[in-house]
Chains A and B, each alone.
Chain A
Amino acid sequence: MAACCFTLAAILFTGQVWVDYAYAGRSLSWPRAFAVALVDWELWTLIAPIILLLGARVPVSRRRLAKPLVVHIPASLGIAVVKLAAEAMIVRAIIGPGRVPFSLLKIHLTLLTYWAIVGAVQYAEQHRLARERELQAARLQTELARAQVEALKMQIHPHFLFNTLNAIAGLMREDVESADVMLAQLGELLRGTLQTEGVQEVPLADELRLLRIYLAIQQTRYGDRLRIDVDLAAGCEASLVPTLILQPLVENAIRHGFSVTPGPGAVGIRVSCAQGTLRIDVTDEGPGPPQPLRDGYGLRNTRSRLRALYGDGASLSVGPDARRGARARLELPLRLAASS
């Protein structure tokens, strides 16, 4: 392909070569003139890949100019000299001994060609990078949207919803006031999950408010059997957390920890913030996670949401708790909501 282009260029330049030589006092036959032009351009076929490689390896960037210049200035001079020397030797072989016109003066043209190729490489590379960045951003955006929709779907587990409705039906017969409260709580929980659509982060205080409603409902369902310990360190409430991130973790603790173990049990939520990290531990007193843990769908989804929002800045780990049961530990970069 490149050779083809250069051959075409050689045909176009044959006339110029003929004129150049005529001015220098040498008259060439047309085939010879073509041969001379051909040598000039076909040598580029050999040299161009080297320049392409060099251009890709050492890109010229505005911020760090020193290194590329140190590489490309000597390289362009070197290649120009070698190219012209080779050209002169071959041309001499074609047209016989005698003066070859412009051979040294052509150096500026050769240098120009070198830099034009480096420039073209640079442009193509920038273009490719920009496209890649766009693609990556679009991928992240899709991932985030998908993970959030999944988080919404998980929020109200059908098992939880129907059991809560059943508990309200039971409560209605014995304590109308409490049934009324529980119905309002369920309503608020449903509204809370519907309203967060499109919002990625909320202050921890908002997230905890929704979580407390969920916990109140669970407390009414299970009565004395369930103990809930919330330990919130001072000053953490303003830090930002992804919407609906906590409830799935607490729901896991209740489903896999508390509700599979006969007798009373506790679910603990411990929040602390220090050294730029917000840490939230959710513990239960169940049988503990299997070792090694195979991530369920919920954990995988939470992780991919964290990755889309914070890259490597956030983590979620699930392991055995120091005492017994399981502990889910969520760590997020500590960022405060703008006070309103």
Chain B
Amino acid sequence: MSLRVVIVDDEPLARRRLKALLEGEASVDVVGESEDGELALAVIRRLRPDLVFLDVQMPGLDGFDVIELLKPDECPAVIFVTAYDRYAMRAFDVHAADYLLKPFERGRLRKALARAAALAGSAANPARLHALVDAVRAAQPLRRFLVKSSGRVHAVRVDDVESLEAAGHYVEIRTAGAAHLVRDTIAALERRLDAARFVRIHRSTIVNVDKVAELRPALHGEFDVVLIGGRRVRCTRTYAAELTRALRS
């Protein structure tokens, strides 16, 4: 039985090269391609391939986002393909993930294929991949959030976020023009954000100090934090010292 393969890469030449190499392999059948992360999600869900060659850097959703968004039963075996990414390469080694560094030669590709073929369909595979994604994410401060709006998933840059506010089992992520709900806790997000920039100002609020226009003293040692867009959030006394320190640095 041949291995059904999908190729995901934003460069057409890179896709064509990999396809040409794979066509020389007897047990491989290239069933689909995609040029960005969002298309890749759709293609993988529709075609249910055994194996995906996944470029790490891509427009919109990157390779890790794609894995994060796939449910365990949708998750194929993955061979990561990257030109150069120090963070990811370290994580690949730690988690014994299969990866290819561009440009790679046929011998290296065959080895990766053989290992992936053995893994394809194994029950442990999805968990292993998700652990890898978590490790890559934990190695560097959060750079963007994946949010759903009108059925689509897209990325919101952390740089654009004004504030994060706890709302039940969700956290509301507010940018200048929009608000998004993500299923997470304020404490968990605080740990993953760059602490020099994202500061707790309330039991349930984190603010981006880059977006703070001014502080207006309110009663009882509290502050009204006025954001660049004019919106106001309250900073309670417990967190006031932390906020003023972050604003000064």
Contacts and interface: CB of A to CB of B under 8 A. Distances in A.
Contact of A262 (B38, B84, B85, B160): B38
A222 B11 contact: yes
Nearest to B228: A291
Interface in A110-166: 158-159, 161-163, 165-166
A166 B83 contact: yes
Nearest to A174: B16
B20 interface: yes
Nearest to B18: A170
A64 interface: no
Contacts of B14: 163, 166-167, 170
Interface string A161-205: 111011111110110000000000000000000000000000000
A256 to B, nearest CB: 10
Contacts of B125: none
Size bracket, chain A contacts: 20 to 34
A162 B103 contact: yes
A170 B13 CA distance: 6
B12 interface: yes
A259 interface: yes
A290 interface: yes
Nearest to A220: B13
A211 to B, nearest CB: 21
A162 B17 contact: no
Main secondary structure of the interface of A (DSSP, over half): helix
Given A165-B102, A262-B60, A290-B160, A223 B36 contact: no
Given A159-B57, A166-B102, A259 B84 contact: no
A292 interface: yes
A221 interface: yes
B36 to A, nearest CB: 4
B213 to A, nearest CB: 11
Interface string B29-46: 000000111110000000
B217 interface: no
A162 B59 contact: no
Contacts of B20: 170, 173-174
Contacts of B11: 163, 166-167, 221-222
Contacts of A221: 11, 13
A170 B17 contact: yes
Given A259-B10, A260-B59, A165 B103 contact: yes
Interface of B: 10-14, 16-17, 20, 35-39, 57, 59-60, 83-85, 101-103, 157, 159-160, 176, 210, 228
Given A159-B84, A162-B83, 20 more contacts: A158-B84, A159-B85, A162-B102, A165-B102, A167-B13, A169-B17, A170-B20, A173-B17, A221-B13, A225-B35, A259-B10, A259-B57, A260-B59, A262-B37, A262-B59, A287-B157, A290-B157, A290-B159, A290-B160, A291-B160
21 contacts: A159-B84, A161-B84, A162-B84, A162-B102, A163-B14, A166-B14, A166-B102, A166-B103, A169-B17, A170-B14, A170-B16, A171-B13, A173-B17, A222-B11, A222-B12, A225-B35, A262-B38, A262-B39, A262-B59, A287-B157, A294-B210
